[in-house]
Amino acid sequence: MKILITTGGTSEPIDQVRAITNQSTGRLGSAIAQACLEAGFEVTLITTEQASKPPAHPLLQQILIKTTQDLESALQSQVPQHQVLIHSMAVSDYRPVQMVPLEKVQEAKNLQAFLEPAQKDGKLSSAADHQVMFLEKTPKLIQQVKDWNPQIRLIGFKLLVSVSPEELLAVACASLTKNRADLIVANDLTQIDQNHHQAYLVEPDRVQEAQTKAEIAQKLVNFIRKES
């Protein structure tokens, strides 16, 4: 059984020294990878330089990426070679297209010109009091996974902030359908700390609850074993 796991957070460059990052520690993905390795699965981990990683293991391969585009390339080549994808990486929703001083935006007749990529080399000057950054939506990679491999079992993640359990479950259900996922791990940032990680594991026909990263990891291993 070959398991593909994504973990950590992508980052999108603003210029050569600044970036927009998703603040994901990678600890949950790392715990899941360890549980999968202990269960005897082969694991390919797509991760970032900054993310927590499991200790070296003979069944573990790692691919380091930075941007959403890197992730797309890695997924396109790896998804067809795996039976399960556990997609816990926090993927940037938006990436910078241009950053311009406020004055330029105020003078512009329309904003269309700022939605095309401009020169991104070098380091932006820091003279203006205000800057305006135009961002474009990144492709939703999770929606393409089943196109790349219709047989793969897809485990997705949904992280919200300060919502009710009802809303969290509703969003997870919608995500199951929209992404043709087999299971969604739904969690709320306010329910996560050093020792706790409350989550719902939502499948089309049942919902399980977990209280720690280790428990989430173990329940995912059971899910993979059960139907394989």
Catalog residues that contact a second copy under the rule CB under 8 A: 11, 14-24, 50, 90, 92-94, 97, 99, 102, 105-106, 110-111, 115, 121-124, 126, 128-137, 159-162, 189
Q: How far is the CB of 80 from a second copy (least distance, A)?
A: 27
Q: How far is the CB of 179 from a second copy (least distance, A)?
A: 14
Beta carbons within 8 Å of 77's beta carbon, 6+ residues apart: none
Dist. CA 213–CA 199, nearest whole Å: 9
The residues with which 187 forms a beta bridge, in sequence order, are 159, 199
Tokens at 30, concatenated: 């790392």
Q: How far is the CB of 32 from a second copy (least distance, A)?
A: 19
Q: How far is the CB of 61 from a second copy (least distance, A)?
A: 23
Closer CB to a second copy, residue 51 or residue 154? Answer: 51
Beta carbons within 8 Å of 144's beta carbon, 6+ residues apart: 75
Closer CB to a second copy, residue 3 or residue 168? Answer: 168
Closer CB to a second copy, residue 50 or residue 208? Answer: 50
Burial string for 56-69 (b: 16+ CB within 10 Å, else e) reads eeeebeebebbbbe
